[in-house]
Amino acid sequence: MDMSLETWDGDWGLPSVDLFSLQIMAYAKFSGAPLKLNKTNKPWHSPNGQLPMFRHGPKISFSRFGDITAYLRGQNYNADFDLTKKQCSDIVAYSSLLRDKLYPAILYVLWVDSRNYTELTRPWYTKVLPFPLKHFLPGYFQKKAQKTIYNFTGYDELEKEKMENFLFKEAQECLTRLSHRLGEDEFYFGKK
C-alpha cells in the first residue's frame, strides 16, 4: 500500500502554497518516507475537508502534522533517528520558535495584509478553486487567519499598524536567531 499526501498545488517556485503541506513534505524527505504526492486543490475530497491529507491504505488518514509524523515514526521513517537527545530538544525549541514568532507573520503577509490578499493570495485561490468555492473559501481562510493573529497578538483590526510592527519584529528576531545558530554550517545538525 502506497503512502500518499494530498496537498494544495504549488506556485511561486514552491511545491505547494500551503505551509502545512510543505512542512509534511519536508519531514517525509528528511525521513526517507516514500510519499506519493497528489496535488488536488480539492479539500472537500478529504475526510475532514482539509488539506494536507495523509493516507496509507483505505483506513488510515491524518491531516495534522503531529499525527502524520507519529505515524511515520511508527513505520520506521524518523527524521530525528541519528540525533542526540540534546539535538532533539533543540528541534522542539526551534519548532516552537518558528510556530510562535514566524508563522503569525507569514499568516499576516498572506491573509491579513490587504494588498497581498487582494493582489496575490485571493487571486491564486480563486484561480484554482471551482465555483462556488472560489467565492467564499478564500474569505473563510482569511477570517480564520485574522482570528489566529488577533488571538496571538492581542491586537484588534483597528490596531493594524501596531500589530504589523509587532509581528515583523518577532519574525525578524526568529530569523536572526536561526541564522546565528546556523552560522557558516550548511545544516543545523551534521552533514547530509
Instruction: Please report the pLDDT score of residue 168 as a whole number.
Output: 95
C-alpha cell at 178: 536561526
66 with 15, same domain: the answer is: yes
Q: How many residues in the chain?
A: 192
For residue 52, the enclosing domain spans 3-74
Q: Is residue 189 part of a domain?
A: no
Q: Is residue 171 part of a domain?
A: yes
Looking at the chain, the whole-number percentage of residues with pLDDT higher than 90 is 47
66 with 93, same domain: the answer is: no
**Most confident listed range (21-25, 82-86, 88-92, 187-191):** 21-25
Q: Is residue 161 part of a domain?
A: yes
111 with 154, same domain: the answer is: yes
CATH number at residue 14: 3.40.30.10
Mean pLDDT, rounded, for 46-57: 84
Mean pLDDT, rounded, for 173-191: 84
124 with 154, same domain: the answer is: yes
Instruction: Please report the pLDDT score of residue 191 as a whole number.
Output: 63
In the predicted model, is pLDDT for residue 157 greater than 80?
Answer: no
Instruction: Please report the pLDDT score of residue 3 as a whole number.
Output: 93
89 with 70, same domain: the answer is: no
Of 46, 74, 102, the position where a domain reaches its end is 74
Instruction: Please report the pLDDT score of residue 186 as a whole number.
Output: 78
User: How would residue 190 be classed by pLDDT, with cut points 50, 70 and 90?
Assistant: low
Q: Is residue 115 part of a domain?
A: yes
Instruction: Please report the pLDDT score of residue 155 as a whole number.
Output: 80
Q: Is residue 192 part of a domain?
A: no
Q: Is residue 79 part of a domain?
A: no
Q: Is residue 137 part of a domain?
A: yes
Distance of CA 111 to the CA centre of its chain: 14
Question: Exposure of 68 by Cβ count < 10 A (0-12 exposed, 13-18 middle, 19+ buried)?
Answer: buried
Mean pLDDT, rounded, for 72-96: 87
106 with 178, same domain: the answer is: yes
What does the pLDDT look like over 90-125, one tens digit per residue? 888 988 999 999 999 999 999 999 999 999 999 999
123 with 171, same domain: the answer is: yes
Domain count along the chain = 2
